Amino acid sequence: MSYDRKSIPDLGIDESAKRLTPEKIEKTINAVLKGTGARLKAYLETCIHCALCSEACHYYLSHDKDPSYSPVAKVKMTLWEMVKKKGKVDADFIRQCSRIAYTECNRCRRCSLYCPYGIDIWYLMALVRRICLLLKVVPQYQMDTNYSHSATLNMMWLKQDDWVDTVQWQEEEVRMDYPTARIPFDKEGAEIMYTPIAPEPKFKPQLLAATAKIFHAAGVDWTMPSFDGWDNSDISMHSADFETMARVERKHFEAAIKLKVKRIVMCE
Amino acid sequence: MYDVIKDPSLYNFVRGPLVWIGFLVFIGGSIYKIRELILLAKKEKTVIPFLDLKFSLRSILHWALPFNSVNWRKRWVMTVMTFLFHICLVFTPIFLLSHNVLWHESWSITWWTLPEGLADIMTIIVIITSIFFFLRRILAPEVRFVTFTSDYLILAIAFVPFLTGFLAYHQLLFPYNVMVILHMISGSAMLIAIPFTRLGHMFYFFFTRAYLGSEVGFRRGTDW
């Protein structure tokens, strides 16, 4: 048994892998590994390769227990190899790492709860994602979402007028049923700031109306920011783009501070 | 070959200096590795602030009891085998009569001793469970996929002292003095190997569990 997969073309992985050089790969891997500490060391020196994490993984279970989908196997095929070869790996290997870390693990962390040692395999896969991100070998859709966060601070490339327009449109819809209902924008000192995720205004605006109806019926003192920080999602965290992740989170909390609300309530 | 074996200087070496080396490297190496880990953890922003004594102990206890966690129940054969293996591996050498006699002869100290019959059964358990782990490495596809030569080596390091001890006690295969010398060499090798191989999970276990247990507790969850 080995890592045997049907080839799936992906611009984000294939095209950017062509631009890699061995020096760049080695430098990036070693820079990321140098920034780690006690956790990576303890995890590498503790894992006894027992594979008891396997049955935690839904990829493993849904591929008829193919051993190459087990969590420990994913670490073996990516991080152990990088550590063992001290970063001297080729572009094809990085492509494979990107595919494993981004598309065969969705970082649900069940495996950590199945591991007798409590090894945080999620953290190890995040390191692999971080390396792939810095090398820009990331599935195109994932990278696009990441760029959206970077440029607009929401995950769906929504501009501010799109957002404001959508919410006001939904407010009109709500008022058809409840004439006094409102979706209050920028209400300073409200009890709660409610934040959706960007796919709601983008694809399912009626969810915003449904939420407004619930808040209206419950008589909640609520508000939403009309400015950046209204999206509570942060896909950059999943891409291990920690710089963008921090910007998005900061903006979210700053919106709450600016509106002087007591609590943030997030959808989902 | 038998002249070398009969020469008491080899026996005296493995009985004396080698055991000293074994214990000193084991204790010194373990302290060094734990200290190194703690110093590294202090540098990492997210480790120490998460650590919580209550959640750490809860997590360690949760997994130290057989059939307590979800995965221990799911993999019950493995659970039985691994608990038997580790209990017998740790306690047989500490409370074995022959070892205690040696401690008494050297330092005039004594403590509890296991009945010889029970100690014999516990040794056989270590041997059988080691064979189980070996077969599991070969036969279970998910384990075979992540097995390296080092995995067989560390299993052998743990297994050989018990095999040679058992054979020496029952005076099988080789003459007693040959077997007991092999036993002492392999025993010291195991002590020396613990801090510097993945056998170090003996103490790393408490640290990795403490961290994950604390994080789970911090997020108001419970260990599975």
Total residues found in chain A within this entry: 268
Burial category of A151 from C-beta neighbours within 10 Å (exposed 0-12, middle 13-18, buried 19 and up): exposed
Structure tokens at B43: 């540098």
Which residues have CB under 8 Å from A93's CB, separation 6+? Answer: A81
Interface of B with A in 118-147 (CB under 8 A): 140-147
| Residues A55-75, mean pLDDT to the nearest whole number | 93
Nearest residue on chain B to A120, alpha-carbon basis: B212
Nearest residue on chain B to A56, alpha-carbon basis: B71
Reported as a pLDDT band with limits 50, 70 and 90, residue A1 is low
Q: Does A49 contact B147 at a Cβ distance shorter than 8 Å?
A: yes
Structure tokens at A239: 């891409």
Distance from CA of A244 to the nearest CA of B (A): 19
**What pLDDT is recorded for position B11?**
80
Q: Does B198 contact A47 at a Cβ distance shorter than 8 Å?
A: yes
With beta carbons less than 8 A apart as the criterion, state whether A160 and A198 touch.
no
Give the C-alpha separation, A82 to A88, whole Å.
Answer: 7
Q: Does A51 contact B201 at a Cβ distance shorter than 8 Å?
A: no
**What pLDDT is recorded for position B1?**
55
Q: Residue A24 pLDDT more than 60?
A: yes
Nearest residue on chain A to B211, alpha-carbon basis: A118
**What pLDDT is recorded for position A258?**
94
Q: Does B44 contact A38 at a Cβ distance shorter than 8 Å?
A: yes
Backbone angles phi, psi at A247, to 5 degrees: -60, -45
Other Cβ atoms closer than 10 A to B132: 17
Contacts of B66 in chain A (CB under 8 A): none
What does the angle CA B168 – CA B173 – CA B176 come to, to the nearest 5 degrees? 35
- Which of B75, B201, B212 is nearest residue A52 as measured by Cβ atoms? B75
Nearest residue on chain B to A73, alpha-carbon basis: B146
Give the C-alpha separation, A40 to A238, whole Å.
Answer: 19
Q: Does A46 contact B201 at a Cβ distance shorter than 8 Å?
A: yes
- Cα end-to-end distance, chain A, whole Å: 39
Reported as a single tens digit per residue, the pLDDT across A133-152 is 999 999 999 999 999 999 99
Domain layout of chain A by residue ranges? 11-138, 154-266
How many A-B residue pairs are in contact by the CB < 8 A criterion? 116
Q: Percent of chain B at pLDDT above 70?
A: 97
Taking Cα atoms as reference points, which of B189, B201, B206 lies closest to residue B26?
A: B189
Backbone angles phi, psi at A224, to 5 degrees: -135, 145
Q: Does B146 contact A73 at a Cβ distance shorter than 8 Å?
A: yes
Q: Which of A126-130, A167-171, B21-25, B106-110 has the lowest mean pLDDT?
A: B106-110
Reported as a single tens digit per residue, the pLDDT across A206-259 is 999 999 999 999 999 999 999 999 999 999 999 999 999 999 999 999 999 999
Reported as a pLDDT band with limits 50, 70 and 90, residue B10 is confident
A192-195: strand order across its sheet: A222-223, A192-195, A263-266
Structure tokens at A223: 């508000």
Q: Does A73 contact B44 at a Cβ distance shorter than 8 Å?
A: no
With beta carbons less than 8 A apart as the criterion, state whether B221 and B55 touch.
no
Contacts of A49 in chain B (CB under 8 A): 143, 146-148, 151
| Residues B19-27, mean pLDDT to the nearest whole number | 93
Whether this model's pTM surpasses 0.90: no
Reported as a single tens digit per residue, the pLDDT across A28-50 is 999 999 888 888 999 999 999 99
B224 reaches A (C-beta below 8 A): yes
Structure tokens at A69: 């989908």
Reported as a single tens digit per residue, the pLDDT across B141-164 is 999 999 999 999 999 999 999 999
Reported as a single tens digit per residue, the pLDDT across A103-132 is 999 889 999 999 999 999 999 999 999 999
Nearest residue on chain A to B207, alpha-carbon basis: A42
Q: Where are the beta strands (DSSP E) in chain B?
A: none
Backbone angles phi, psi at A265, to 5 degrees: -115, 125
B74 reaches A (C-beta below 8 A): yes
What is the complex's ipTM, to 2 decimals?
Answer: 0.87
Give the single-character DSSP code of B16.
T
Which residues have CB under 8 Å from A232's CB, separation 6+? Answer: A195, A196, A197, A252, A264, A266, A267
